[in-house]
Structure 1
């Protein structure tokens, strides 16, 4: 497959020549400028027209890159320098102005292109609303049709609402994948569910299809990191590759003003950071996305965008620790 719809991102940083990068905006390079094997490939899916509620999540890939200037490539907590890890930015998938289905097809094809051309490289998609996850997983399945895919979902919601009623919206990606037989229900584990934010018919659908639901309270009682590791190990025994989707509404509303669907009782920022570090360490995790962060709802200090970049860097740190 040679067709893709990736273009240079709206915002990027110049990279100083002949200097070791010490900040993220000097470290991540355009994919086209790499002449060595890639450790990690990043791309954006800037769409939010498919969101059930009003969302500016399409703005996040750009604001995500803008925020790189605020982060060094050295992780003090883990004593890890990220700068030797080769990260390529493939740019953003070109979205059609009005055609949601066409935009979704472009995300799928672009993901398939990256998966096929870089089969041994971890990929990360920056959304965009959560509808993009179904597109990305279908693209990976297109690239590896004989492989089974497992999904670890960090989310307050199940996202199994009926696309026949809503269309391919952000509340439907997991159901799209199960109903479309791209992923088996028993190969989906959701950690982060809590409270009063999933109607009973959605719980019934999840139970009927074998989705493993771990509430946030259960995970905290068992130990969140132990729960994450157990979930990944369980999936690794059953599938060929693991896709992790991080809906930023898993965060508690008090720390995530830039997430329209955030709720009381969600994860703290520290819990999310520790989870992503553990996820990054697991060798069977091949793909990850971060979705549903709306910079237009953030405060003037952009704390939610900063949390999003920090979480991504935690995953990269885990990836490096995995290789040691």
Structure 2
């Protein structure tokens, strides 16, 4: 496909110069290509990046709308080479498609465009793996609905790394950042038994949400349980169970899953959460699984960040996931 197939998107704003020296160590901003920069052979790409800068749908005050561009800005701080795995991500061809167009006041219209964007990604180049930079967690419901719309006969499961259930009542809150999983359950897009949430902890979820999760058959593992059992084993068991039940696994990473000391930039940052090295290992593990076919990174407010701790952690999450994708492909 030689034409830009996304009328609902704004092409990327940040266009970095690319090095012509193939022997040089690449930085991430030199590696990721830009959809608006030249005529493209879409068939050659492995990964497509999409920004959804929406935070008007957040229950709490949030500038998560700034996050996609904030992540792109710190790409310069990262190399494509992962020392710990001895893997160079530059073997993957990655395309930044830009951002979903935002309406100034109409959240439902932006949600619709987000759904259409994911549907278009799966129709125009279904061989690529979508990586979405949010935005608040409300976008996950729209992205998964777009995925389902493009493949109506395929069943979808969710691996959710999160401090919260995100099962608040849609009648009260609407399609907000506290309701995406319930939105998907109530719309029939997914089944409760095909949701695995890892990272719940502390005093940040109401009992009624736990009761609703139990009624729907949602699987969940608290931080205390995961650490006792072992993070790797918990993720492995979740992926194995999902892979037996669904055709596609969608990974959603709410950055508030991190402990507040590891990520002060999450609007709902809390103590007692996950550590960065635990999160990086878990998303890499998910990236290795052949049924994980899309992922998002949501709920990060750069305006609350300190020395880019949160934003750099989010980029590390993205790159850790792509490290897993490289290992999946045997590269």
1:76-100 C-alpha deviation (Å, 9 max, x unpaired): 0000111121011111000101100
Counterparts in 2 of 1:174-253, with a 5 A limit?
174-253=181-260
1:68 equivalenced with 2:72 (yes/no): no
1:84-129 C-alpha deviation (Å, 9 max, x unpaired): 2101111100010110000000000011000111212211110000
1:280 to 287, 291, 302: 287
Q: Match of 2:16? A: 13
Counterparts in 2 of 1:49-64, with a 5 A limit?
49-64=56-71
Secondary structure at the aligned position of 1:198 is classed as coil
Q: Match of 2:155? A: 148
Rounded Cα–Cα distance in structure 1 between residues aligned with 2:13 and 2:219:
38
TM-score by length of 1: 0.97
Q: Match of 2:123? A: 116
Counterparts in 2 of 1:30-109, with a 5 A limit?
30-31=34-35, 33=38, 34-35=40-41, 36-109=43-116
Q: Match of 2:329? A: 323
Rounded Cα–Cα distance in structure 2 between residues aligned with 1:110 and 1:278:
27
Rounded Cα–Cα distance in structure 2 between residues aligned with 1:313 and 1:154:
16
Most deviating of 119-128 and 30-39: 30-39
Rounded Cα–Cα distance in structure 2 between residues aligned with 1:315 and 1:178:
26
Rounded Cα–Cα distance in structure 1 between residues aligned with 2:6 and 2:82:
37
Q: What is the CA-CA distance between 1:10 and the residue it aligns to?
A: 2.9
Q: What is the CA-CA distance between 1:18 and the residue it aligns to?
A: 5.3
Most deviating of 28-37 and 65-74: 28-37
Q: Match of 2:30? A: 26
The answer on whether the counterparts of 1:4 and 1:109 sit within 8 Å (CA) in structure 2 is no
Q: Match of 1:302? A: 308
Rounded Cα–Cα distance in structure 2 between residues aligned with 1:17 and 1:153:
39
Most deviating of 16-25 and 39-48: 16-25
Rounded Cα–Cα distance in structure 2 between residues aligned with 1:302 and 1:214:
29
Alignment gaps of 5+ in structure 1: none
The answer on whether the counterparts of 1:6 and 1:110 sit within 8 Å (CA) in structure 2 is yes
Q: What is the CA-CA distance between 1:4 and the residue it aligns to?
A: 4.2
Secondary structure at the aligned position of 2:44 is classed as coil
Rounded Cα–Cα distance in structure 1 between residues aligned with 2:97 and 2:159:
24
Q: What is the CA-CA distance between 1:224 and the residue it aligns to?
A: 0.2
Count of residues in correspondence between the two structures: 322
Alignment gaps of 5+ in structure 2: none
Q: What is the CA-CA distance between 1:14 and the residue it aligns to?
A: 2.0
Rounded Cα–Cα distance in structure 2 between residues aligned with 1:140 and 1:31:
21
Q: What is the CA-CA distance between 1:9 and the residue it aligns to?
A: 2.2
Q: What is the CA-CA distance between 1:281 and the residue it aligns to?
A: 0.7
1:291 equivalenced with 2:298 (yes/no): yes
Q: What is the CA-CA distance between 1:19 and the residue it aligns to?
A: 3.7
Q: What is the CA-CA distance between 1:174 and the residue it aligns to?
A: 0.2
Rounded Cα–Cα distance in structure 1 between residues aligned with 2:74 and 2:140:
23
The answer on whether the counterparts of 2:12 and 2:35 sit within 8 Å (CA) in structure 1 is no
TM-score by length of 2: 0.95
Secondary structure at the aligned position of 1:68 is classed as helix
Most deviating of 32-41 and 74-83: 32-41
Secondary structure at the aligned position of 2:220 is classed as strand
The answer on whether the counterparts of 2:12 and 2:34 sit within 8 Å (CA) in structure 1 is no
